[in-house]
Amino acid sequence: MIKLISGDLKKIKIDTLIIPVCEDNEIDDNELISSLCSKAKSLNEFKGEKGDEVIFYENAEIKSNRVILMGAGKLENIDAEALRSLTGKAVKQAVKRKLEEITIAVPKAGKLNIKMQDLLQALLEGGYLGNHFFDKYKKEKKEKPLKLINFLVSSETAKKFNKLPERVKSVCSATVMAREWVTTPSNDKRPEQFIKSIMTNAEKEGLKARLLNEKELKQKKFGALLAVAAGSTSLPGLVVLEYMPETKKSKKTLALVGKGVTFDSGGINLKPTGSLEDMKTDMSGAAAVAASLIAIARLKPDINIVGVIPVVENMPSGTAARPGDIVKTHDGKTVEIGNTDAEGRLILIDAISYVKKEYNPDTLIDMATLTGACVVALGEKIAGVFSSDDDLAKAIVDSGEATHERCWRMPLPDDYKELIKSDLADLSNMSSSRWGGAITAALFLAEFTGDTKWAHIDIAGPASIKKGNDYCGPGGTGFGVRLLCDFIEKL
């Protein structure tokens, strides 16, 4: 639980007080806190540098069992992300100490040159997300999450931002849900299981959820999606989630499409060892879209939002699609399968065509762990954004900056379209060049978006991490949930 509190440090009883300390400036105007910071800096082992820490026990002036001062580094380097990380780290260390509750002294926004809402939101997010531990498959549960994380502010600030903790909880609990979906091994999230989990959680929040099963997909001629699913014993499905504002005044519709490959073996073009082990994460786009809709149902923005999530398993077998096969898509175009491991774009084009036809959205955004080429281009911490609409691309990048779910706009050059042509079909799902794979994959998707305002976000890099950071453990990161919620709230 995260909570804003206020009060006189001389009077309120606090089990553990955590104070962020700047290396080269005062960032709090409370006399007691300033005195403690000065006392800490008088010690040789503490300068306020990032990573510094000192603990005072049973301070006479403050009713606290312990006061932990944590270095935040130089003032010029303290931004929202630095505070998010500091809070996450504080939580994780408190958990290691087997504490149940902590109180974090919130610095003064003016001294940090950060808006108070942004400062508080970053601290609250770091606390909530840092308090999540994925130990479902461990017999011994070593980490016990904190029961309460307090943030000490003035009474005026507590009153002004009294709704912010609930907003952060709504988004961050959805982020945690996406993390857990991604981290869950594929044997426990076959398409049928993943679909059931999405629909159950969505319906709990009042979203309208329906499923197009394999029979309906065949009737509606989802040829590309079905080709990807053909090699698996698990049945594919297309999940449709709808959020409609209670006011019902909105005339605008946003469509979100998320790639849901619960395990990607590569199909007949089997992936080599080293590339197979992490393929349980190939449904990260679906997790982000589903979790975002769940968060949106709590935030209640005034815009119609539909989430379309194709869910399949890509496996090699006697019934699997083969390289050289030609399939007819839901759109009616034909695609030659140049490589069965370029499967994500095949399920996405059928989902994109469906949502365009059924909902005629004003804006369409798809999110997918689509290409290793994007990771080569941008590394493991930044997503690629592809869009021919400047305003849409900028809005996504800006939301990425605000949430530290960073994105970089990538090009969509027309002359690269030559690379996805086929001699035998309308298109090939595989580029004729080994270079620029993230671009040609995006251009392939663009062939099915028509004149709809569209953006593609390739999250192959940041969707999961092998080594945890200050507010996320190893596994799924939930990347995209905070980004999409920020984007939607700003529409």
Annotated catalytic residue 322: no
> 438 near 458, Cβ under 8 Å?
yes
SS3 label, residue 228: helix
Residue matched to tokens 């399949």:
312
Q: What is the greatest pairwise CA distance in the chain? A: 82
From the list 84, 179, 190, 345, the catalytic residue is 345
Q: At what angle do helices 390-403 and 481-489 cross, to 10 degrees?
A: 120
Query: Of 160, 169, 196, 271, which residue is the catalytic one?
Result: 271
Give me the residues paired with residue 89 across strands: none
* Parallel, antiparallel or unpaired: strands 453-458 and 383-386: antiparallel
| C-alpha–C-alpha distance, residues 227 and 208, integer Å | 28
- The helix or strand, by DSSP H or E, that contains position 351, with its residue range, turns out to be helix 344-359
221 is catalytic: no
CA distance 488 to 311: 24
Which residue matches tokens 């940090």? 112
The number of beta carbons lying within 10 Å of the beta carbon of residue 398 is 14
56-72 in b/e burial notation, b at 16+ Cβ within 10 A? beebeebbbebbbbbbb
User: Long-range contacts of range 331-336, CB-CB < 8 Å, 24 or more positions apart?
Assistant: 331/448, 333/426, 333/427, 333/447, 333/448, 334/425, 334/426, 334/427, 335/224, 335/422, 335/425, 335/426, 335/427, 335/428, 335/429, 336/422, 336/424, 336/425, 336/427, 336/428, 336/429
Kindly report the CA angle at 101 between 100 and 107, in degrees rounded to 5? Answer: 150
Q: How far is CA 21 from CA 50, 69, 99, in A?
A: 9, 6, 21
Q: Which residue has the tokens 């403690």?
A: 36
> Is 360:384 a contact under the CB 8 Å cutoff?
no
Cα-to-chain-centroid distance, residue 112? 27
Q: Do the Cβ atoms of 307 and 481 come closer than 8 Å?
A: no
Distance CA(93)–CA(178), nearest Å, equals: 24
DSSP, res 114: -
Residue 245 CB contacts under 8 Å (≥ 6 apart), including other chains: 300, 301, 302, 303, 304
Contact 286, 260 (CB under 8 A): yes
Q: Please identify every residue annotated as catalytic.
A: 271, 345
